[in-house]
Structure 1
Amino acid sequence: MTDFEKPVLSVQHLHKQFGPGCTHCEDPVSPSLVKNYCQVCGTVYACRDVSFDVFPGEVLGIVGESGSGKSTLMQCLYFDQDVTSGAAYISSYQNGEKNLFEESSQQQRYIRNHVMGKVYQNPLLGLKMNFSSIGNIAEKLIAAGSLHVGTMEARGTELLNKVNIPVHRRKEAPKNFSGGMQQRVQIAKALSNNPPLLLLDEVTTGLDLSVQASVLDLIKGLQRELGISIVLVSHDLGVIRMLADRTIVMLEGKVIEQGLTDQILEDPQHHYTQQLVHSLL
């Protein structure tokens, strides 16, 4: 298998539930679930047997309504949540042979700082708002073991230029920035250690349309320039259409359809996907 045939990320049978579960909701024949919620014990099944691969230089879109499990999936991939069961492998970590979810918390921090970057929907989760913009990037670099101040400053300046933050504002705190500028600082921070994999969780939600367009153009340009792989979560099919090569559709914690983005948008098979596509037209 060549490097381009080997997935950058492989997720296998990821399962995440909130609650203990019971004999009623775990009954394989007729579980007592309303959507993904058990009326008997109150357990929520946020992700149910989710599997997918992401290949080098590919943008994988994950789309679904609120509560479909897509953001929980991203939290699990970045270790913001513990999984209930399942496996994930990254080709650049231990030759893709170690299940990330079974690694120690120390190793998971290493993976976050060296192998993955994440841009959160809410910049408060991804940035220290009272640090300078370049200080936020330095924080990520220090966490990955960088100690040379001059090198960190040069890298921070390079990345802030790349995401179109004016040079005279690089030492300004993100709390003074607009939502779109905050997202651009998050993107710069996420890219600071040249990760092979970038996770983007609803990065344009809540932004004005013109700002959305500039952030999406930035992501598209950086992805092409750097050749990184991206997992992109959105409830907006317009965002998915613009950026994603392949798309997964989630509903009630399950993957209900997946394929090339053009195929999903032009010939959706599942009735829920058909409703999503028709709502875009």
Structure 2
Amino acid sequence: MTDFEVPVLSVKNLNKQYGPGCLKCRGGESSSLVKNYCQVCGTVYACRNVSFDVFPGEVLGIVGESGSGKSTLMQCLYFDQEVTSGEAYVSDYENGEKNLFQESSQQQRYIRNHIMGKVYQNPLLGLRMNFSSIGNIAEKLIAAGNNHVGMMESRGTELLNKVHIPVHRRKEAPKNFSGGMQQRVQIAKALSNHPPLLLLDEVTTGLDLSVQASVLDLIKSLQRELGISIVLVSHDLGVIRMLADRTLVMLEGKVIEQGLTDQILEDPQQPYTQQLVHSLL
């Protein structure tokens, strides 16, 4: 098996539920479920047996309507939420042999700081709005054990240049920036420790179309330059079409279809995916 056949990230049977479940919904009685909500006990099954691999240098798109489970999935992958059950392995951590979800909180922090970067839909979750932009990057570097001020200044400046933040604004706080610039600072922060894997959760939602286009162009050029693997969540198939090599379609917590992005867009098999594609045309 060559390196390019070994997944950077492998997720197996990831489940996340809110609520204890009951005999009816746990027993699989579909009559008790409305979509992924149990009418009897009120449990929500946000992710149901989600499995996928991400390969080196690949962009995997995850698309679905609001409530399909895609953002919950991203929160689980970055340890913002605890999974109910399931496995995840990263090739750069313990040779891909340890289930990330069973590691200690200390080890999960290590994985967040060294192996993954995440860009949140809401920049308030990914940035300290009162810190300077370069200070936000330094925070991530310090969390990974760096303490050399010159190195952090140099790395921060390099990354802010890469994401087209003007040099004279690098010591300015993100609260003074536009939404598009805040997302650029988040991207720079997420890339600070050379992670092999980047998680992007609805990064263009709420931005003007011209700003969306510039953020997507930036992501595309950085991905090509750095050869980084990306998991990209969006409800917008236009974003998926532009960036993703392969795509998973989620509905009611389940993956209902997956394949090469061109295949999904040109020959969707599931009625929901057909509806999604037709809404794009």
Normalising by structure 1, what TM-score? 0.99
Q: 2:19 maps to what in 1? A: 19
Q: 2:71 maps to what in 1? A: 71
Q: 2:279 maps to what in 1? A: 279
What letter corresponds to residue 122 of structure 1 in structure 2? N
Q: Take 1:111 and 1:29, find their aligned partners in 2: how far apart are those partners?
A: 38
User: Which 4+ runs in 1 deviate beyond 6 A?
Assistant: none
Q: 2:112 maps to what in 1? A: 112
Q: 1:230 maps to what in 2? A: 230
Alignment of 1:250-261 (within 5 A): 250-261=250-261
SS in 2 for 1:255: strand
Structure 1 stretches lacking a partner, 5+ long? none
Q: 1:46 maps to what in 2? A: 46
Q: 1:170 maps to what in 2? A: 170
SS in 2 for 1:184: helix
Deviation at 1:93, TM superposition (A): 0.3
Normalising by structure 2, what TM-score? 0.99
SS in 1 for 2:46: strand
Q: 1:244 maps to what in 2? A: 244
Deviation at 1:187, TM superposition (A): 0.0
Deviation at 1:30, TM superposition (A): 3.8
Alignment of 1:1-281 (within 5 A): 1-30=1-30, 32-281=32-281
SS in 2 for 1:189: helix
SS in 2 for 1:68: coil
Structure 2 stretches lacking a partner, 5+ long? none
Q: Take 1:95 and 1:127, find their aligned partners in 2: how far apart are those partners?
A: 31
Q: Take 1:54 and 1:30, find their aligned partners in 2: how far apart are those partners?
A: 31
Q: Take 2:172 and 2:31, find their aligned partners in 1: how far apart are those partners?
A: 54
Identity of aligned residues (%): 89
Q: Take 2:76 and 2:202, find their aligned partners in 1: how far apart are those partners?
A: 15
Deviation at 1:26, TM superposition (A): 1.2
Q: Take 1:3 and 1:134, find their aligned partners in 2: how far apart are those partners?
A: 34
Deviation at 1:257, TM superposition (A): 0.1
What letter corresponds to residue 249 of structure 1 in structure 2? V
What letter corresponds to residue 275 of structure 1 in structure 2? Q
What letter corresponds to residue 102 of structure 1 in structure 2? Q
Q: Take 1:78 and 1:23, find their aligned partners in 2: how far apart are those partners?
A: 31
**RMSD of aligned alpha carbons:** 0.6
SS in 1 for 2:48: strand
Q: Take 1:116 and 1:169, find their aligned partners in 2: how far apart are those partners?
A: 26
